[in-house]
């Protein structure tokens, strides 16, 4: 390969300037001409029949243009299970479910009208615990589940309220436990948390009766999937629906699928062609959009005296909330690698996605990996402790290395895990016993390893346009959610066309003109869209060389390409800039467009009975993070002193951006480890739907961060790249949990590691020791 | 109740009729069209809507339009010094202080407030000053770095 000129370099973000001057326009900022203001009435009951809705008073309020309820919009949607109505129909399943909506001349009128809508409910039993909601005798939250349209891979459970049952079967775990010298079994718990992207959710919609076109402006991280879902729900032809993506103020998984969109669409059909904006405020965003799955994880491990893992059995109850959303795939892709990145001969996993009467759980950065790691990685340390082994040594004995066959039957390649383990632990001086700072404060160290698959199979397509001025425009459906894709993809185009970064521009995301992309999720974009943009750029370059051939009076094979110019191999001074080639061939307004697409073809779908696949993921991301913590035993307060994070990214297309992703992920992970928790009471009500009561990590909470980029090239990836967005927070809580156990000698099984949880764990141990 | 108010926004006089209960944040974003100031919570918990009101950093979601008559308001759109980026904007660019960018305007305004008051802040000073400005993307390290670098530039200028 020729030397890389832009790829691999610490290039500054291409979108930073508009962001630091306040010029960037986000979805939440958008004000459309003649726009109406939408407000939503949310369910105040977690599980109830709707006996009556009266909208008369609301409709009569001056300034109100439309009031809609589920009756007016008899449609349902959902990625794998079509279970969610646009607005509640006949019953409500969580507090925060949209029941009715109003469009009015201003926000105050809309809000006043919402308050005038009367709803009579008849209460039904409320289930807030996923482990309880699937016990025999529970009533079905979705009584019509069997009749819903669903994706082929969805396997309904035999118990009540189970939307998905994932099974992994390898070897014989009973035999494995019998052959083990030590068997450990524990229950772990991960609570509901929220993405809390700084930009709350909103959507704008307009329906033009004359053309029959529906336009939706929304910061959605998978506009093509949203388009597909709306198309399916409404039975409208795809060409009639258009998604335009303004800039997105963070997502972390929360902004895919449909949340505010159905409300805006429902209203848009009743506003005589006027656009309507529906904004959720922060509290509405907390209760009505998406959360991360709570998970109850039972983990049982069998191991030989020398530390060889023999068997692992895991049962995971994923709390889906009131609608399936992405629960089936979170259950599948979170449960599959939950036993950890280790060679284990006997493995049994049962994952259940269970409906509850809580806000809907969906995709969240990490897609099920943090929950499995919280259990599996802490149990690894417990095993090491019982065997008197160093936690590093037990992992080194069992860890996946190049060429290993995983317990789901896939031969692994590009495995940089060992290097991440060595580097992350070295970075915090593993093995050096830290000295305690003062009486009552204990210092400890811990780490955790993860492996994360990506959504497969998927497709990304891209266009790359070169104009007569030599400017390059990239048409890519990857959404800039803050992760830096516009910079990465510009680098790829600049690399292949050998032009300076300033010459490359990203086209706004508009489904009318941008080629298809599966989604900006699952850390898939650099790999998939990176490949697509690379191919499209090469395609454009080839056409330009073709066109230049008669101009330079030479065959294409006698031409070369560098610095944005085509030239004769043996006479490099005979050169034509690419813009000049385009102009001569097509005129001053001419454009050459290259197209490229990339599809990862899966080997075999996961087998429904065994969970096996010879190629379950386009690539795997590996990481190890290590923490040093201080625990105040008198208060239970945990402080992270320093945190190293070593991530195998395949190839760092932009090292600055890699560090940015790692640091952001780690701090999000620290929040989820130490204080984040959506507190939901037995009635299904969220008790802390504000940033005052829901504690995000602040500038005061961050430790010394040590980011380490490991490059174990993935041959199929662009320049060897894999992905990075999600793993940043995946091992963090388990690493901190292990450090807390190292410091105090006490294991805490339930997240978050808030002072009272840690304090009582310490006190209980003291009591036991005294007795 | 509507009230006629006149105030200065980024050096220019603005006069308009506004509902007294209208939040400064909404006035800026929905009525004046200055959407650089961001709404993250509407309850004074996240700092995304930080602006200067009579020289002091405030959450514009906690200020009512009725209080604005005669006030001097500076928003992110007024942070540049003439055509030049303010040093804190330059260092946010250079150090990678912005990712999704939604908290960035508030972060920049609060950073400027700190630097106006304390040209030589320690890392702890910066952490405390920005502790009311939430960011979900960056993990804060690069933001703290950017404020340190901006402080150095400003000190060099005034030396």
- In this complex, do B41 and A705 lie within 8 Å of one another by their Cβ atoms? no
Contacting residues of A for B79, CB less than 8 Å apart:
21-22
A373-407 pLDDT, tens digit per residue, is 999 999 999 999 999 999 999 999 999 999 999 99
How high is the ipTM of this complex?
A: 0.98
d(CA B94, CA B83): 18
Parse chain A into domains and list their residue ranges: 16-23+458-599, 31-124+199-249+255-288, 294-455+605-770
Does domain A16-23+458-599 bear CATH number 3.30.365.10? yes
Parse chain B into domains and list their residue ranges: 2-78, 87-158
Does domain A294-455+605-770 bear CATH number 3.30.365.10? yes
pTM value is 0.97
A161-181 pLDDT, tens digit per residue, is 999 999 999 999 999 999 999
Instruction: Give residue A620's Cα distance to chain centre.
Output: 15
Tokens, residue A713:
């090239």
- In this complex, do A250 and B136 lie within 8 Å of one another by their Cβ atoms? yes
Chain A residue closest to B133 (CA)?
A698
- In this complex, do A699 and B48 lie within 8 Å of one another by their Cβ atoms? no
Question: Helix A578-586 vs helix A525-551: angle between axes, to the nearest 10 degrees?
Answer: 60
What is A31-124+199-249+255-288's CATH topology? Aldehyde Oxidoreductase; domain 3 (3.90.1170)
**Residues in contact with A662: Cβ distance below 8 Å, sequence separation at least 6, in sequence order:** A645, A647, A705, A707, A709, A724, A728
Measure B158 CA to nearest chain A CA, in Å. Answer: 24
Contacting residues of B for A643, CB less than 8 Å apart:
none
Q: How many CB atoms lie within 10 A of CB A187?
A: 13
User: A719: which DSSP letter?
Assistant: G
Q: Which of residues 70-89 of B touch A (CB under 8 A)?
A: 75-77, 79-80, 85, 89
d(CA A139, CA A137): 6
d(CA A731, CA A378): 10
Q: Which of B60, B65, B82, B102 is most worth mutating to test chain A (most A CB atoms within 10 A of its CB)? A: B102
Q: Which of residues 113-142 of B touch A (CB under 8 A)?
A: 126-128, 130-142
What is B87-158's CATH topology? DNA polymerase; domain 1 (1.10.150)
**Residues in contact with A393: Cβ distance below 8 Å, sequence separation at least 6, in sequence order:** A307, A384
**Multiple choice CATH, B2-78, 3.30.360.10, 1.20.140.10, 3.40.50.1820, 3.10.20.30:** 3.10.20.30
Same fold for the domain at A31-124+199-249+255-288 and the one at A294-455+605-770? no
DSSP SS3 for A408: coil
DSSP SS3 for B59: strand
- In this complex, do A700 and B98 lie within 8 Å of one another by their Cβ atoms? no
B17-35 pLDDT, tens digit per residue, is 999 999 999 999 999 999 9
In 3D, which of A73, A70, A72 has the Cα closest to residue A90? A70
Q: How many CB atoms lie within 10 A of CB B155?
A: 12
Blockwise average pLDDT, block size 10, chain A, 771 residues:
88 96 97 97 98 98 98 95 97 98 97 98 98 97 95 92 98 98 98 98 97 98 96 96 98 96 98 98 98 98 98 98 97 98 98 98 98 98 98 98 97 97 98 82 97 94 98 98 98 98 98 97 97 98 97 96 96 96 98 97 82 94 98 96 98 98 98 98 98 97 97 97 97 98 96 97 90 78
Measure A664 CA to nearest chain B CA, in Å. Answer: 4
Q: Are A193 and A321 in contact (CB under 8 A)?
A: no
Q: Does A138 touch chain B (CB under 8 A)?
A: no
**Residues in contact with B158: Cβ distance below 8 Å, sequence separation at least 6, in sequence order:** B119
């Amino acid at each position: 390969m020729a030397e890389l000129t832009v790829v691999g370099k610490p290039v500054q973000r291409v979108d930073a300037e508009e962001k630091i001057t306040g010029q960037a326009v986000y979805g939440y900022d958008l004000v459309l001409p003649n726009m109406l203001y939408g407000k939503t009435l949310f369910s105040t009951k977690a599980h109830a029949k709707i006996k009556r809705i009266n909208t008369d008073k609301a409709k009569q309020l001056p300034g109100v243009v439309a009031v809609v309820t589920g009756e007016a919009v008899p449609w349902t949607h959902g990625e794998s299970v079509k279970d969610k109505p646009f607005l509640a129909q006949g019953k409500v399943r969580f507090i925060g479910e949209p029941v009715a909506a109003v469009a009015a001349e201003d926000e105050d009128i809309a809000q006043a009208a919402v308050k005038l809508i009367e709803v009579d409910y008849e209460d039904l039993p409320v289930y807030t615990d996923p482990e309880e909601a699937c016990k025999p005798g529970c009533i079905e939250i979705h009584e019509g589940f069997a009749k819903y349209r669903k994706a082929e891979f969805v396997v309904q459970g035999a118990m009540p309220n189970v939307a998905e049952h994932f099974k992994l079967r390898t070897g014989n775990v009973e035999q494995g436990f019998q052959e083990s010298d030590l068997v450990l079994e524990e229950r772990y718990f991960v609570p509901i948390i929220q993405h809390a992207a700084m930009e709350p959710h909103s959507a704008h919609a307009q329906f033009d009766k004359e053309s029959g076109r529906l336009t939706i402006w929304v910061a959605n991280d998978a506009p093509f999937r949203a388009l597909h879902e709306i198309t399916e729900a409404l039975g409208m032809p795809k060409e009639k629906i258009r998604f335009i993506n303004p800039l997105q103020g963070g997502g972390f998984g929360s902004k895919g699928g449909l949340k505010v969109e159905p409300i805006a669409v429902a209203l848009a059909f009743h506003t005589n062609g006027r656009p309507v904006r529906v904004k959720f405020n922060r509290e509405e965003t907390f209760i009505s959009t998406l959360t991360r799955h709570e998970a109850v994880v039972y983990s049982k491990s069998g191991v030989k005296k020398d530390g060889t893992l023999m068997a692992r059995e895991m049962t995971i109850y994923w709390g889906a909330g009131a609608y399936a959303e992405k629960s089936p795939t979170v259950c599948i892709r979170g449960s599959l690698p939950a036993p950890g990145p280790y060679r284990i001969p006997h493995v049994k996993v049962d994952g259940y996605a269970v409906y509850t009467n809580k806000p809907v759980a969906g995709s969240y950065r990490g897609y099920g990996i943090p929950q499995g790691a919280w259990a599996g990685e802490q149990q690894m340390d417990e095993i090491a402790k019982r065997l008197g082994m160093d936690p590093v040594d037990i992992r080194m004995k069992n860890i996946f290395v190049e060429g290993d066959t995983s317990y789901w039957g896939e031969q692994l390649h590009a495995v940089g895990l060992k290097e991440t383990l060595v580097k992350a632990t070295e970075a915090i001086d593993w093995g050096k016993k830290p000295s305690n700072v003062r009486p009552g404060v204990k210092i400890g160290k811990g780490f955790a390893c993860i492996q994360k698959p990506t959504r497969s199979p998927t497709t990304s397509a891209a266009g790359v346009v070169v104009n007569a001025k030599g400017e390059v425009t990239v048409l890519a459906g990857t959404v800039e959610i803050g992760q830096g894709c516009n910079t990465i993809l510009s680098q790829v185009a600049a690399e292949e066309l050998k032009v300076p970064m300033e010459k490359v521009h990203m086209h706004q995301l508009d489904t009318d003109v941008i080629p298809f992309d599966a989604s900006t999720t699952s850390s898939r974009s650099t790999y998939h869209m990176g490949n697509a943009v690379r191919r499209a750029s090469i395609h454009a370059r080839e056409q330009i060389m073709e066109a230049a051939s008669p101009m330079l009076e030479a065959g294409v094979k006698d031409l070369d390409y560098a610095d944005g110019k085509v030239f004769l191999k043996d006479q490099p001074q005979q050169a034509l800039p690419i813009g000049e080639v385009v102009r001569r061939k097509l005129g001053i307004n001419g454009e050459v467009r290259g197209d490229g697409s990339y599809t990862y073809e899966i080997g075999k779908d996961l087998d429904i009975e065994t969970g096996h696949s010879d190629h379950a993921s386009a690539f795997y991301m590996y990481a190890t993070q290590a923490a040093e913590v201080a625990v105040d035993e008198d208060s239970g307060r945990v402080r992270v002193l320093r945190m190293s994070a070593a991530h195998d990214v395949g190839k760092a297309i932009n090292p600055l951006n890699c560090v940015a992703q790692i640091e952001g992920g780690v701090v999000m992970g620290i929040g989820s480890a130490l204080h984040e928790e959506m507190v939901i009471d037995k009635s299904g009500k969220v008790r802390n739907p504000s940033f005052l009561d829901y504690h995000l990590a602040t500038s005061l909470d961050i430790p010394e961060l040590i980011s380490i980029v490991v490059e174990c090239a993935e041959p199929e990836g662009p320049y060897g790249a894999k992905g990075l967005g999600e793993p940043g927070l995946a091992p963090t809580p388990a690493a901190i949990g292990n450090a807390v156990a190292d410091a105090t000698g006490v294991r805490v099984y339930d997240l978050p590691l808030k002072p009272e949880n840690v304090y009582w764990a310490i006190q209980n141990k003291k009591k036991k020791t005294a007795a | 109740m509507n009230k006629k108010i006149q105030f200065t926004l980024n050096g220019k006089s603005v006069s308009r009729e506004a509902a007294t209960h209208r939040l400064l944040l909404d006035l800026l974003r929905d009525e004046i069209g200055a959407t650089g100031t961001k709404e993250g919570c509407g309850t004074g918990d996240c700092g995304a809507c930080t602006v200067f009101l009579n020289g002091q950093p405030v959450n514009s979601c906690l200020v009512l339009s009725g209080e604005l008559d005669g006030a001097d308001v500076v928003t992110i759109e007024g942070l540049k010094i003439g055509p030049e980026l303010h040093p804190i904007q330059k260092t946010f660019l250079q150090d990678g202080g912005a990712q999704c960018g939604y908290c960035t305007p508030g972060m920049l305004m609060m950073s400027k407030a700190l630097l106006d008051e304390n040209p030589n802040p320690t890392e702890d000073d910066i952490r405390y000053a920005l502790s009311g400005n939430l960011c979900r993307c960056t993990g804060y390290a690069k933001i703290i770095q950017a404020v340190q670098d901006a402080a150095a530039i400003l000190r060099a200028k005034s030396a």
